[in-house]
Structure 1
Amino acid sequence: MTEIISGEAVQAALRICKQDEQTNCQHVLLSAFLDQQHVGALDCSILGGKICIEVLYVKPSYRELGIAKALLAQLHVEYPELEVICKQGMVH
């Protein structure tokens, strides 16, 4: 694994992939990859004009590098007009 020194280095190396499933309730999964390793994910549902975050996870050894922020930023890029909410009790 390449040593990550700054948030800028993470942003330059981070790759975010999107999977979505079109149903009555659209399901979206954003995955973050760094040095070809899956390091984080944002799993959410879209219903009634709102994005409900089910899971936002970053592997412990990759935390504090801005990966969660990058996943949330990508979510806002994909769906700028929608309000983002978190499931109750899921925020730690």
Structure 2
Amino acid sequence: MTLEEAKKIIDKENYKYYNLFEDRPLKENEVGICKNDNGWKVFTTDERASIVTNSVVEFNNESDALDRFMKRVATEKILYNDNDEDNK
């Protein structure tokens, strides 16, 4: 997956709980992706906006990192019931 493909899916699905390459400070209960000296890192944050240690997965290429990131971001529809008509 490419960054542009990921952005299109995020826009189309109207995902809210993510942080794409740390474009802003971390928020609580979101999925993040960032690049560091060792490659790419995908993680989740807790209710205090801290990175959950056991949630961190590192990758040596952006495509695999974006695939994992998007799979985690997609779970928000399940976790937060964004498809539920009562929440609209």
The verdict on a shared fold, with TM-score over 0.5 as the criterion, is no
In our comparison, the structure showing a higher alpha carbon Rg is 1
Bigger proportion of residues as strand? 1
Report the TM-score when normalising by structure 1. Answer: 0.31
Bigger proportion of residues as helix? 2
Report the TM-score when normalising by structure 2. Answer: 0.32
